[in-house]
Structure 1
């Protein structure tokens, strides 16, 4: 499945528009990660455990989006975007959404 954040794929043409697809996941912070993050806030540096958590969350959201696209017959999702929102204290939703299409070579 081709996944792209651009509207037009070079050397490909959209032969069928299937509509909006989305995938999301809600993740909560881990207490151990919070403790390590508090040390990083004091000394500075990347919060690696949070970087990893967010990457896993984005991957899961994209997987769910592409599963939804495949289920309706798409072979690509174009114009993909991400959104994040706070759900509760310590929990956030990562949303991936885009346009499911069927593409063919020109």
Structure 2
């Protein structure tokens, strides 16, 4: 399946717009990472535990968006976007969404 942030796909014709598809996940930090992050905040640098946590969350949300698109018979997803929101202290939702389409 083709996934793109643009509204067109080079060499393909969109023949049907199916509609919105999405996938999300909510992830929580853990106390060990928070302690390490606090130390990193003092000396500076990347907090690799959080980087990995967010990368994994993005991949999970993409997979769920793909599953949603497959369930409605899509060939591709265009105009893909990501958004995040705080659900509660220490928890964030990562949402991937786009427009499911059929191609010719």
Shorter-chain TM-score: what band?
A: over 0.9
Residue 74 of structure 1 aligns to a residue whose secondary structure is: coil
Runs (4+) of structure 1 exceeding 3 A deviation are: none
Q: Provide TM-score, normalisation by structure 2.
A: 0.97
Number of equivalent positions: 104
1:25 is the counterpart of 2:7: no
2:36 is matched with which residue? 36
TM-score, with normalisation over the residues of structure 1? 0.95
Name stretches of at least 5 consecutive residues in structure 2 with no aligned partner: none
2:55 is paired with a residue whose SS is: helix
Aligned runs of 1:1-106 on 2, under 5 Å? 1-104=1-104
Gap regions ≥5 residues in structure 1: none
The structural deviation recorded for 1:103 is: 1.5
How far apart, CA to CA, are the structure 1 residues paired with 2:20 and 2:69?
9
Q: In 2, distance between residues paired with 1:32 and 1:11?
A: 49
Partner-residue secondary structure (3-state), 1:80: strand
Deviations 1:71-97 (A, max 9, x none): 110011100000100000100100000
Give the Å deviation of 1:68: 0.4
